[in-house]
Amino acid sequence: MSTFALTVKCPTSRGIVAAISAFLADQGCNITDSAQFDDQETSNFFMRISFRSELGRSIAELTSAFETIASKFTMDYAFHDEAKKMKVIIMVSRFGHCLNDLLYRWRIGALPIDIVGVIANHLDYQKVVVNHDIPFHYVKVTKENKPQAEAQQLAIVEETGAELIVLARYMQVLSDEMCQKMSGRIINIHHSFLPSFKGANPYKQAFQRGVKLIGATSHYVTADLDEGPIIEQDTVRVTHAQSPEDYVSLGRDVESQVLARAIHAHIHYRVFLNGNKTVVFPASPGSYASERMG
C-alpha cells in the first residue's frame, strides 16, 4: 500500500481542510497524520498530510484529480511519495563532525536520504567518503578561480540529480547566482545561535560577551550571509570557567544534531517557506525510526 504526503500552501480561507479531507476520502485514501497552521500575520495557510492510498492511486492520478480544488483555493501544492529518498549532495571543508554524523545516520537508516556525492575544497575527508562508497569530488576554491569552481560544483549537482545541497561546515560563501538557482534547496549549519554572533568566529564573540548559552542554527542559504530562513536551532549551557576552545568542543555536538534535524524536516516535506521565516511541522510517527541500531 502506497504512502504519500500532500503539502499545501495557499491564502487562508474557510473550508480548506474539509475540501482536502473529503477529496482524500473520495479517492480511497486514509489519513495517518496531519498538521496545519493558519498564519494570522501573512494570511497564509499551510498544511501537511500523510495518507495511505488504499485503492492504489498514483501520484499522477491524485495530482490530476486534485487540480479543481487547488484552483479553487489558489493552492501551491505537491504530492510526495514517502518511500522515495531525496538525492543529496554534501559539501564540506576541514571540519568533519557534521559530515561524520550525517554519514552514520545515513548508514543506519536514521536519515533516509540518497547521498549522491560529497564535494570538498580540501582532501581531508576523501578516504572517509570513499570508504562509504560515495563519490568524492575535490574542487579547489581560491579567490581567482571561484566562479569556475562554483560552475564545476553546479555541474556535479545537475549531473547527479541532487535535490538538496547540505553545507556541513563548508567554509566558503556561495555566490548570489548559486543561492538563487538553488533557492530553498541549500541548508547550512551555522555555529552560533542566530541572529546573534554572525561571521567566522562566533564562539570567540560569545566568549567575550560572557554568554551562558551557546548554540547552533540551521537555515536555508540566501545571498545575505547567515540571514536565510531558520529551520532548526538548539543550545548548550556554558559557564564563566570555560574557554573559547571549550565552546568549540561543546558546540560540535549541537551543530551535528541541529543540522541532522533540519535535513530530516526538509526531506519529509515538513518545512514551508513563509517570507523570511519558516513553518516547520512536527515529525510524523515512525519517521525517526532507523533500519538498524548500529
Active-site residue list: 226
- CA-angle at 272, arms to 234 and 86, nearest 5°: 85
DSSP 222-289: -SSTT-SPEEEEEEEE--TT--HHHHHHHHHHHHHHHHHHHHHHHHTT-EEEETTEEEEPPPPTTTT-
Residue 281 CA: distances (Å) to CA of 33, 48, 231, 238, 243: 11, 8, 10, 30, 37
| Residue 18: partners with Cβ closer than 8 Å, 6 or more residues away | none
**Rounded distance, CA 266 to CA 197, Å?**
25
Identify the sign of the CA torsion 209, 210, 213, 216. Answer: positive
Q: Do residues 120 and 93 touch, judged by C-beta distance below 8 A? A: yes
Nearest to 79 by CA among 4, 175, 11: 4
